[in-house]
A and B are shown apart, each in its own frame.
Chain A
């Protein structure tokens, strides 16, 4: 992985493995708080992994030492960008988790409504009645009256 001097330390590789592993396990949870922790760990693991991709060595400033002993500056620049991006995403996910807790009392990610409905129908072995819509106005037992149009009165309309 490196061509000169200090290779990637085993500690760093292990840190990546542990962070990514724990992150993935946490991501598989249902609660958004745990998913958030998973995203943080996974993100940091991936950032460390990028750092491992370049040569390690001295500070990459011309004049401070021989060029072949310098570290590769590009992964460090990329890591800076990706740290910012991970940070922003973490903040947004935190906001979503908080909003979810605020609105529904917990921060679990529930199953999709329609999916559950279709599973129920399949369990009872029925087809959607919507396909049997008849011709007349009352031909379809499931057709519901359209909701009254949502109207918002404009200023001045009252008079």
Chain B
């Protein structure tokens, strides 16, 4: 079982090399990418089963034992994130292949798309599996470097304009992360997460808080938490639809994952949770108010993305097992739903020629399937029962009420308000883009949406519904993961079986 752990990183990297070599043969290129990501998904599922039944799976890469060598750790949280992320990346890959086959694609993926996309996947999985702070940094850099290429794909003027913002902000956040890695090493003399968990406890309070805030600052930029979120709605919407979808679904959640690790394994019970709670509330409310004001579908979804990051930060900031379990469940739900919505926005663009709400209308009449594909995830995002969005929000709000106190109370209110405003935004899009009377002035024949694009979107909508149906078992897994994260000992003992040196 141990030999499986590095595979989610190694297989996509090898696939990237192969697809780069076979750049001239798109058919083989596609087959290799799909095979690699299906393999990753299978391995991820196996790892999750193993981690759930027998505890974290640890492998020492290079053969050196834990504190000296680099370890990859697949505990329940990491394995769960692996499963969701590889399922989502696989669907988005199929969607992009479908888009490449369509008659209308202005942005048919160039040959560099597949290698870069696989490198991005490898970066994401490496960040999830890293048992070492510097390896986490390297994972972030791999995915950032790949995302730079993807966001400026084609090099048109708009993409360069928005891409430059993204590149500069990402580089700045990497610098902050790197600085904090250096400072953590200077303060403790180690970078292994399990060993850090022990050594950071012995540091003076002030030093601890400073290190925690530095790390949180770096991760909050990546996760787009409110005061640091302005870059996201500017830069995501102009990229090709599959790229935006996978960025929106995964990249911010890697930041959230890093925040969860920092807050549970490295700095449990730190003083930052009040700050986190305040920014979580602001993220929710200000993000969704931004979405209310938008008139472009992709930008609107970018703002809902920012806003719903607030729910996860809220769950983490509660620092109770229930809050953490809710946050992990919400991460899983949100990766799936937000990716689906961006894929639907891509389909709308393909079908109607635009995502500007002033230009489109009546899509429910001319493309009923598209209407259904939008309606289900949109209601899911807004938290209408019985969907997983409702269950996730319910879990978080219950945890907030159980925690008691004025600040969690305010956040519960903010969460409810955000949910209602999300419903308003979703129904506004529904009314304008799908329900109002269409204007069919053109005599052009309608565009046939490629079957693979629709199929991939249907698969993701089905995954979102599966999360609803299987919410009970999933909540068991997340609650178990949260309990392990709170205890810290399962992780530390798995990485350092001989005790802490």
Contact = CB atoms under 8 A, between A and B. Distances in A.
A54 B361 CA distance: 62
A115 to B, nearest CB: 8
Contacts of B105: 152
B168 interface: yes
Interface centre among A93, A96, A146 (most CB of B within 10 A): A146
Interface in A84-116: 85, 88-89, 92-93, 96-97, 99-100, 103-104, 109-110, 112, 114-115
A152 B145 contact: no
B164 A109 contact: yes
Given A130-B358, A146-B359, A150-B106, A109 B175 contact: no
B175 A46 contact: yes
A68 interface: no
B104 A151 contact: yes
Contacts, number: 161
Secondary structure at the A interface, as helix, strand, loop or mixed, is helix
Nearest to A137: B437
A42 B174 CA distance: 11
Contacts of B103: 151-152, 154
A47 B104 CA distance: 47
B437 A149 contact: no
Contacts of A129: 358
Interface of B: 103-106, 134, 138, 141, 145, 148-149, 152, 155-157, 160-165, 167-168, 171-172, 174-175, 178-179, 181-183, 185-186, 191, 233-234, 293-296, 299, 352-354, 357-361, 428, 431-432, 436-439, 441-442, 444-447
Contact of A128 (B104, B165, B295, B441): B295
Interface in A103-153: 103-104, 109-110, 112, 114-115, 118, 128-131, 133-140, 142-152
Contacts of A138: 439
Given A104-B157, A145-B439, 19 more contacts: A32-B168, A50-B178, A78-B182, A78-B185, A89-B148, A92-B145, A93-B171, A96-B163, A104-B161, A112-B234, A115-B234, A128-B293, A128-B295, A129-B358, A130-B432, A131-B428, A133-B361, A143-B436, A149-B447
A74 B157 contact: no
A54 B182 CA distance: 9
Given A150-B353, A151-B447, A92 B167 contact: yes
Contact of B183 (A32, A53, A103, A142): A53
Contacts of B186: 1, 52-54
A49 interface: yes
A118 B296 CA distance: 12
Contacts of A81: 134, 138
- The 3 A-B residue pairs with the shortest CB-CB distance, nearest first, are A53-B186, A50-B182, A147-B353
B154 to A, nearest CB: 11
A75 interface: yes
B359 A147 contact: yes
Interface string A23-65: 0000100001001000100110011011011100000000000
Secondary structure at the B interface, as helix, strand, loop or mixed, is helix
Contacts of A150: 104, 106, 353
Contacts of B442: 145-146, 148-149
15 contacts: A46-B178, A85-B141, A85-B145, A85-B174, A93-B168, A100-B161, A114-B295, A114-B296, A131-B428, A133-B432, A138-B439, A145-B442, A146-B441, A149-B444, A149-B447
Interface centre among B138, B161, B174, B293 (most CB of A within 10 A): B161
Nearest to A128: B295
Interface centre among B104, B171, B172 (most CB of A within 10 A): B171
A131 B138 CA distance: 46
Contacts of A112: 162, 233-234
Nearest to B102: A152
A135 B157 contact: no
B185 A137 contact: no
B185 to A, nearest CB: 5
A114 B230 CA distance: 13
A85 B148 CA distance: 13
Nearest to A115: B234
B220 to A, nearest CB: 18
A15 to B, nearest CB: 15
A142 B171 contact: no
A38 B141 CA distance: 19
A105 B223 CA distance: 33
A137 B183 contact: no
Contacts of B360: 146
Given A39-B171, A130-B295, A148 B444 contact: yes
A140 B436 contact: yes
Contact of A100 (B160, B431, B437): B160
Contacts of A35: 168
B18 to A, nearest CB: 22
B141 A75 contact: no
Contact of A49 (B171, B182, B353): B182
Contacts of B447: 149, 151
Contacts of B149: 92
Given A96-B167, A100-B164, A146-B352, A78 B299 contact: no
